[in-house]
Amino acid sequence: MSSDDSRSDDGRSDDPDVQEFMDEVEQHSQAIYEMVSDYMDDLEVPEAIISHVLLNLAFNMRMVAYVIDTEKPSAGGLRLDLDRMRNEIEQILRESKKGAEGFIKSAKTAIAEAEKENGPEREE
């Protein structure tokens, strides 16, 4: 039985604890996305730079969490935890690849709608 078997057709989990976790992750993801977007806009930071910064932060925060949450942290234990993180990242990557077509379609639609509302962006 794969982990996808515990999901309903709408992508929600049949397990209330898992669904609560997923909802909380989504809530925090949205809030952080908005803060990062504001930061990018304020400082005119390109998406490619921010994605690299956030990836580095994710690893750093995971390493700090391991040390804080583990009774007797060790380099070997940290390496194992980073291996678990790699597996989580690979799962996210697989899901992102599966959704690539839909993402591109949605992004193009959003860009077209923004251009209708604001007119095409002009270089000054």
Q: How far apart are CA 63 and CA 78, in angstroms?
A: 7
Residues 7/14, Cβ–Cβ less than 8 Å = yes
The model's pTM is 0.70
Q: How far apart are CA 77 and CA 66, in angstroms?
A: 8
Task: Look at residue 77 in the predicted model and tell me its pLDDT.
Answer: 98
User: DSSP code of 6?
Assistant: G
| Lookup: tokens for 70 | 């583990």
Flag whether pLDDT at 19 surpasses 90.
no
pLDDT tens for residues 27-64? 999 999 999 999 999 999 999 999 999 999 999 999 99
Flag whether pLDDT at 1 surpasses 80.
no
Comparison of pLDDT for 3 and 92, the residue scoring more: 92
Assign 11 a pLDDT band (cuts: 50, 70, 90). Answer: low
Task: Look at residue 10 in the predicted model and tell me its pLDDT.
Answer: 52
Q: What average pLDDT does the segment 62-86 reach?
A: 98
Instruction: Spell out the residues 6+ positions from residue 19 whose beta carbon is closer than 8 angstroms to its own.
Output: 12, 13
Mean of all residue pLDDT scores within the chain: 88
Residue ranges per domain, the chain?
46-118
Q: How far apart are CA 110 and CA 103, in angstroms?
A: 10
Q: What angle do CA 59, 63, 64 make, to 5 degrees?
A: 120
